[in-house]
Chain A
Amino acid sequence: MTWIERRAFRAYRFRKQSQSVSEAAEEAYLRDDIPCGSDACSTCQNGLPALSADAPHYIIPDAQALDDYLEIFELPQLQNFVLLTSVIQELWRRSNIRKSARLRSLYRDVRRKCTLFDNLHYAPTAPLPSERHTDRKIERAARWFFGHLDCRIPIIILSGSALQQQDQQESAQPGTSLPCLRVDAVADARTPSKPSSDGDAILMQLLKDSGYDVDFSAVTHPAVAVHPEHNHKMVEGVDAMSSGDVLQGALHMARRGPTEGIVRVGQGRDVQEVQINGLKALNRAIHGDIVAVRLLPREQWPASAAAVLEEDVQEASPEDMNEEDNGRPDPNAKEHLGAMNGLAQAGTASNGRLQPSGEVVAIVQRSAQDLAVCLSQQDEAALLSNPDSLRSEAVLCVPMDRRLPLLRLRSRQLLSLVGQRFVVRVDSWQRDSRHPSCHFVRTLGALNDMRAETDALLVKAGIEWQPFSESAMAELPRVADPSQWSVPEAEALVRRDLRSADHLICSIDPPGCTDVDDALSVRELPSGDLEIGVHIADVSHFVQQGGFLDGEAAARCTTVYLVDRRLDMLPALLSEQLCSLRAGTDRLAVSVLWTLSPDLDVKDVWFGRTIIRSRYQLEYQQAQDIMDGRPPRPGHDCIALADRPRLQRNLQVLAWVAAHLRAGRLQDGALELESAELRFETAAEGQPTEVTGKAEVPMMAVVAEMMIFANSAVARRIYQAFPGSALLRRHPPPRQHAFKEVAALCEAGGCPLDTSSNAALSRSLEAAVVASGDPAIGSLIKSLVTRAMSEAEYFSSGDARPGGGGLSHFGLALQHYTHFTSPIRRYADVVVHRQLMAALNSPDAAPPMRHSVLQQATGTMNERHRQAKRAQRECGDLYLLLLLHSKPHVEAAIVYEIQASGVLLFVPKYHIKGAVQLADRAGRPIPLLKGGTEDDLNDPFLLAERQKLTIQHGADYIRIMDRESGVERDRLSAMQRVWVMLGSDGSRAHGPRLRMRILSPSHPSIPTHDNQATDVSELRASSTAAQRQASAAQRLDRKSAAEEPTSRERTSLAGVLHEFGSLNLGEEAVSLQTSSGRTSQEPMTVIFQPETASPEHQSIMHLKEQLWDALRRANRCQVRMSLSCSSAHAPRRERRAQRLASLTAKVLELQNQLQKHIVT
């Protein structure tokens, strides 16, 4: 069948964009082969869906009614309605893409019994040209329908607008009774008391009358969002600001969601936090904006605890404490610390203090950041269901960061963005709009693609990385090959030449390191003094101040180390070749040479430019082996045999000097905090397959200490030269109130924290860690203390306030400190190099950078460092969570805080803190996992089980009990060790999120006791194990105070020591000779004969002494310690220190073993 008639007409359309009416010539082809779609009709051939034959009536809604009551029409109970094409087309023109998709699904869903009828092109119902824009076409269609079905089934028109009067008259014709229902008409006729705008009630009435039984409680009308105006006059008026009425600060949103935020007003000491609650009070402000707030009257301040934003506050990391602890991160490893998402905020107890609350009055400055977003799932489905449309559509984008609101993006090419993560920038937020509008910048890649996700993290952290510009690359030395570069003659004249064989210079770095920026040397002077040298790559020679390369390096400020890649600050030619102090090649360097007396007093320090040739490029483990005298491992045996003894001696001297320096700093109050470094093994596509913690090699501490020494020497020197504009680094003392959490913990352990000065803090921290008796708890305490620390920052020395906030570094306990030793990866070091050179050139030289310029530069540097740290941390988190997602791990954890319906846990292996909710949203308790990897929380049987349980909590315990019987199912107390299943799940929009389930003690996956020994945390059982041993021994001491030690005890001890005969402690062998005295008078001699010696931590030494004391007291025997060092070549003056400093690793194992025997 073909069309039978053609009608041409002019169509008028309203264009929203240009706000004008356009006309076009259109045509309609009428036909008569369109089925009516009703099963009651015998003539038409209907496909599916079809209206049922026994329906009481058929409803035909018009455009207005369909638009307003779309939710009602979507209810499955409402069936048998006819959608006319004219109605649908009208709605399409004014709907957005989501509504169009909903409309489409209305008539395409076969179950719904709703048909689409093309009244525009069906000959009997086609409107005349004059009727095209009126409601008569609906009437026509309805009339035709009625007639077509032989008047059996009444047709009801749902119309939101008034129909013309004449139609109603016509409808009164006999034989064609056509009930036409007007929504307002019903109101007037039936329920005059109800307001006519209450359309829901009317429809409900109608449907009830027709026999439908529907629940309308879920239907709501979306409210039109109208935000209050921004009032900039209030901000600009001087009176308002100065009177304190209107405050200005940066907005931080709570992690929980973008409806609560805090504005931090003021700087430094007098920071005030104003809480903003609710979308109306936020008034279109986005996280990161600088806003003007006005305090609400006191009565309106909420009394609940503030949304704590500890993670949003600039977080310190152990990297700031142990500044050069590991030099730079291992290229394959990362630093990992921090609370994961989901940390419950209610932990900080509300003191009953009222938190000042306010509302945003104006936005002073929008944060201009790029945001990583993806399309919302609803919009993606809508786009995919209509791929051929070229209309400009508006969709909602979901940002990766949960603190940001949804954004509206309008574009014609949205189809290419389905399933992708992309970058947008915020344009504006209109008053009448619920969401801000944004525009598209670029695509990052597909969702869950490793590279795209890492790029998204970089965008989130604010790091924009571009390749080096041509002009910057043009400033590099022109060499075809790095090996062709040689020291220029001009430099050879002005620099001190340290290339002679007299200086044995070598560098010690992580394995696989290509950018070597520091090297060490030791020389014994004929006068008996020691000359220690730290040589740093001379980057300032290659990077001229004010050049393009300098500009690029200053813009980047630091190298960012991510798991899969590294974003360099300098081009590879410099960072890996010409500046890097590689072995066997001449290199330019800046050196610091100290002359130390035999008692390690600093006699003289020399700074200057040098030329060096590093002899060996060692790895940490390799250096450790050499120093201990062990044979080299495979791959490490490149050292010439003739050099080995000298190298060994040098390393031992270095270790001794480093130990001495460290002891000095610890005495002044330096803090020793931990960080867990995790290394990931990745598969071919970049997916992480394995995570391992990094073992601590003592050589790392040695190198770190030397770097700290060099940094502080340089800091003193440049401060002396330029007291008003030296680039230094300071660490302000921590905020007192940040210690609340830790203080509570330590008090419970019996050792309160003293935070008055850094020495006091250091001492009390050590005591608390030792008193806790558990290395995991010690780790936890240190981790919490780290969080309480403020951030270290660069500053220009002209900033120092005489009263407070001075120059010193709290964590390292140094008066002056700066960054000097890593110019290849930090721009601050390059600036310090230039300042040092300027200071050396002439005594009253002008500083290379004025104070004002430097102040600005330090602000940038601090910001960039923060961004880099954030990116590194989040990258590590991402990889860890992805790994946990593919392979859930079972790990040990400690409960450290109890909350109303959950607990806070600490996992020592990964240094993760997280919250575990023990009740779901409906309040039903979630018991500990008894078996398997996960139980379905929505399983109806389990739900029924869980309904019977209830949660009870006290100050330091929480338990799940049976409601009726009161039998306790699970119990968790503070400081309890538990096992958790770590996994991750997460939304596609926000990335993976940590999920922890506590395992019941009977869970089959919990490792047995044997496996526990290999737990990583046990490897850290250093001082705490010793203390445990000592306290155990003391207990024994008290027990047997008056008794003579029985021979059984002595033999048991001897037996243990005898068992030790030859003990393999890792790589070190100790041979033991014991002669146990048979009588109490004869002393028992224990001879330790270590084959190698290794320096160890100072505090361990103390505890070793305590151990011996305890042993002696416990056994009433004289235990004489005699030892002989096998290193015959060690200079005499070192032997004493070495003796004192050695043995402790052996003592570790000995203590462990002894503990088992003596205590039990």
Chain B
Amino acid sequence: MEFVSPEGLRLDGRRPKELRALRCQLGPLPQADGSALFEMGNTKVIATVYGPKVADNRSQALHDRAIVKCDYAEAAFSTGNRRQRRGRGDRKTTELASTIRSALEHTILLDLFPRAQIGVSVQVLQVDGSVLGACINAAMLALANAGIPLRDMIAATTAGYLESTPLLDLNFLETTGAGPEVTLALHPNLDKVVVLTEDSTIAAEPFEAVTELAQQGCKAVAQFMRAQLLQHVQTIATVRGLAAL
């Protein structure tokens, strides 16, 4: 099975530098402080935010800033075959959760909420590659939906290197190929990389090209999210009567 045809087309018809279809929904769960559903192609992730509120655990609260608690879960129906539920304490789960948490800690203006706690819960509904990227994006939108002040937007995407071609936004089949998978999250306006993780091994020369591609992808995702947020706000303002139709 070839990942890139001689024509330059991938398995699902995209070219190497194209993102998948992005869709998002803001505020699907009204009882949470903020929530968002984010889809990258077939990968669907829902994120909810509870906070800022008084820390549940007094001993964990910090006196000068808020703490971020992050929860990651994969639904049992998220992959093709129904698989066993991964326990909460599973290594992969905790690692992903801590990655997301540290990304958000860099993004949120925590100093504004001392002794508070912001809880982010991410649940993956369908897996089709690029899961971490979708989680971070969903979390970001949920935070925006909750109205929590952020330093900058954060956008994430995945890039890989198969058949000597850097590919953007891998789907599940491409992830199972023997190539590396680089997830990159950055602040598009500050132009700062927040998260850079890598699976498998990659040689030094293609690494540059792959991260460069990932950064451009992130910027495109950020653009999409910004447009969605603006549209959402526009809708609310119109309903409220604050803005003209």
> What is the interface of chain A, defined by CB distance below 8 A to chain B?
2-3, 6, 8, 22-31, 34, 85, 89, 92, 100, 104, 107-108, 116, 118, 120-121, 386-391
B178–A118 CB distance below 8 A: no
In the complex, the chain A residue whose C-beta lies closest to that of B164 is: A388
- Distance from A271 Cβ to chain B, minimum over Cβ atoms (Å): 55
User: 10 closest A-B pairs (Cβ-Cβ)?
Assistant: A121-B13, A29-B13, A24-B80, A6-B21, A388-B178, A25-B42, A388-B177, A29-B14, A390-B178, A118-B9
Residue B111 at the chain A interface, CB threshold 8 Å: no
**Given known contacts A27-B171, A29-B13, A389-B177, what 8 new A-B pairs fall within 8 Å (CB)?**
A2-B18, A24-B172, A25-B42, A25-B128, A26-B12, A28-B12, A34-B9, A388-B179
15 A-B residue pairs with Cβ-Cβ distance under 8 Å, sorted by A, are A3-B14, A22-B80, A24-B172, A26-B12, A27-B21, A28-B12, A29-B18, A30-B13, A92-B1, A108-B6, A116-B7, A121-B12, A121-B13, A388-B177, A391-B1
B172 → chain A closest CB, angstroms = 8
Inter-chain contact B20/A27, CB cutoff 8 Å: yes
How distant is the Cα of A108 from the Cα of B5 in the complex, in angstroms?
10
Q: Looking across the interface, which residue of chain B has its beta carbon closest to that of A29?
A: B13
In the complex, the answer to whether A27 meets B178 with C-beta atoms within 8 Å is no
Chain B residues numbered 143-165 whose CB sits less than 8 Å from any CB in chain A: 162-163
CB-nearest residue of chain A to B172: A24
Q: CA A22 – CA B83 in complex, angstroms?
A: 13
A103 to B, closest residue via Cβ: B2
B88 to chain A, nearest CB (A): 26
| B13: A residues at CB distance < 8 A | 3, 28-31, 118, 120-121
Chain B interface (Cβ < 8 Å from any Cβ of A):
1-3, 5-7, 9, 12-15, 18, 20-21, 41-42, 80-81, 126, 128, 162-163, 171-172, 176-179
Closest Cβ of chain B: how far from A365's Cβ, in Å? Answer: 41
Residue numbers in A under 8 Å from B7 (CB-CB): 34, 116, 118
Q: A27-B12, A104-B2, A118-B13 are in contact. Are A390 and B177 (CB under 8 A)?
A: yes
Residues on A with beta carbons closer than 8 Å to the beta carbon of B2: 104, 386
A117 to chain B, nearest CB (A): 8
Task: Specify the chain B residue showing the minimal Cβ separation from A11.
Answer: B80
For residue B80, which residues in chain A have a CB less than 8 angstroms away from its CB? 22-25
Q: How long is the Cα–Cα vector from A388 to B178 in the complex, in angstroms?
A: 5
User: In whole angstroms, what is the CA distance A24 to B128 when docked?
Assistant: 9
Residues of B within 8 A of A118 (CB): 5, 7, 9, 13
- The complex places the Cα of A2 from the Cα of B178 at a distance, in Å, of 27
Smallest distance from the beta carbon of B160 to chain A beta carbons, Å?
10
What does DSSP make chain B's interface, helix, strand, loop or mixed?
loop
Cα of A27 to Cα of B171 in the assembled complex, Å: 10
List the B side residues contacting A22 at CB < 8 Å. 80-81
What is the CA–CA distance of A877 and B117 in the complex, to the nearest angstrom? 78
**Docked pose: A389 CA to B18 CA in angstroms:** 22
Tell me the nearest residue of chain A to B11, going by C-beta.
A89
User: Are A25's CB and B126's CB within 8 A?
Assistant: yes
Separation in Å of the B130 CB from the closest CB of chain A? 13
A473 to B25, CA, bound (A): 72
Closest to B81 in A: A22
Whether A26 pairs with B5 at a CB distance below 8 angstroms is: no
List, in ascending order, chain A residues with CB within 8 A of B41's CB: 6, 27
* Closest beta carbon of chain B to A629's beta carbon, Å: 72
Q: Which residues of the partner chain B approach A390 to less than 8 Å between Cβ atoms? A: 176-178
In the bound complex, CA of A1069 to CA of B199 (Å):
81
Q: Which partner residue on chain B sits nearest A35 by CB separation?
A: B7
Task: Give Cα distance in the complex from A27 to B128, angstroms.
Answer: 10
Complex contacts, A85 vs chain B, CB 8 Å: 5
Bound complex: CA A387 to CA B161 (Å): 13
CA distance A108 to B6 in the complex (A): 8
Residues of A within 8 A of B81 (CB): 22
Would A107 and B6 be within 8 Å (CB), given that A22-B80, A23-B80, A27-B42 are in contact? Answer: yes
Which chain B residue shows the least CB distance to A1? B15
Q: How far is the CA of A27 from the CA of B130 in the complex (A)?
A: 15
B126 and A389 contacting across the interface, CB-CB below 8 Å: no
Shortest beta-carbon distance from B8 to chain A in Å: 10
B residues within 8 A CB of A24? 80, 172
A118's closest neighbor in chain B, by CB? B9
Residues of B within 8 A of A27 (CB): 12, 20-21, 41-42, 128, 171
For A15, give the chain B residue with the smallest CB separation.
Answer: B81
What separation, in Å, do the CA atoms of A391 and B9 have in the docked complex? 21
Residue of A nearest to B128 (CB): A25
A-side contacts of B178, CB under 8 Å: 387-390
Report the minimum CB–CB distance from A1007 to chain B (whole Å).
56
A29 touches B20 (CB 8 A): yes
Q: Is the CB of A121 within 8 A of B9?
A: yes
Please name all residues of chain A whose beta carbon is closer than 8 Å to the beta carbon of B6 when the two chains form the complex: 107-108, 116
- Determine the residue in chain B with the shortest Cβ distance to A85: B5
Set of chain B residues within 8 Å of A387, measured between Cβ atoms:
178
- Report the minimum CB–CB distance from B21 to chain A (whole Å): 4
Closest to B21 in A: A6
Q: How far is the CB of A1088 from chain B (nearest CB, A)?
A: 81
List the B side residues contacting A28 at CB < 8 Å: 12-13
Residues of A within 8 A of B163 (CB): 388
Contact partners of B171 in chain A: CB under 8 A: 27
Give the complex CA separation of A31 and B5 in angstroms. 15
Contact B18 A388 (CB under 8 A): no
CB distance from A113 to the nearest CB of B (A): 14
Give A89 to B128 CA distance when docked, in angstroms. 20
Kindly state the separation between the CA atoms of A100 and B2 in the bound complex, as whole angstroms.
Answer: 10
Residue in chain A with minimal CB distance to B177: A388
Q: Which chain A residue lies CB-closest to B23?
A: A6
Q: Which residues of A contact B18 (CB under 8 A)?
A: 2-3, 29
Return chain A residues, CB-CB under 8 Å to B42.
8, 25-27
- Cβ distance B225 to chain A, nearest Cβ, rounded Å: 18
Instruction: Report B5 CB to chain A, min CB distance, Å.
Output: 6
Contact B20 A388 (CB under 8 A): no
Query: CA separation between A229 and B163, bound complex, in Å?
Result: 46
Least CB distance, A1110 to chain B, in whole angstroms: 83
Cβ–Cβ < 8 Å partners of A120 in chain B: 13
CB distance from B126 to the nearest CB of A (A): 6
Q: CB distance B177 to A116 under 8 Å?
A: no
A893 shortest CB reach to chain B, Å: 54
Bound Cα distance from A26 to B21, whole angstroms: 13
Residues of A within 8 A of B21 (CB): 6, 27, 29
Question: Of residues A30, A388, A389, which shows the largest number of chain B Cβ atoms within 10 Å of its Cβ?
Answer: A388
- The closest CB in chain A to the CB of B1 belongs to A92
Kindly provide the distance from the CB of B213 to the nearest chain A CB, expressed in whole angstroms.
15
Q: How far is the CA of A85 from the CA of B171 in the complex (A)?
A: 19
Cα(A744)–Cα(B211), bound, Å: 81
Most buried by A among B13, B15, B171, B172: B13
Q: How far is the CA of A107 from the CA of B7 in the complex (A)?
A: 11
Q: Which residues of B contact A34 (CB under 8 A)?
A: 7, 9
A108: B residues at CB distance < 8 A: 6
Report the separation of the CA atoms of residues A389 and B177 in the bound assembly, to the nearest whole angstrom: 6
Contact B176 A116 (CB under 8 A): no
- When distances are taken between beta carbons in the complex, the residues of chain B under 8 Å from A391 are 1
A236 to B29, CA, bound (A): 74
Residue pair A388, B162 in contact (C-beta under 8 Å): yes
Chain B residues near A92 (CB-CB < 8 A): 1
Residues of B within 8 A of A100 (CB): 1
- The interface residues of chain A lying within 8 Å CB-to-CB of B176 are 390
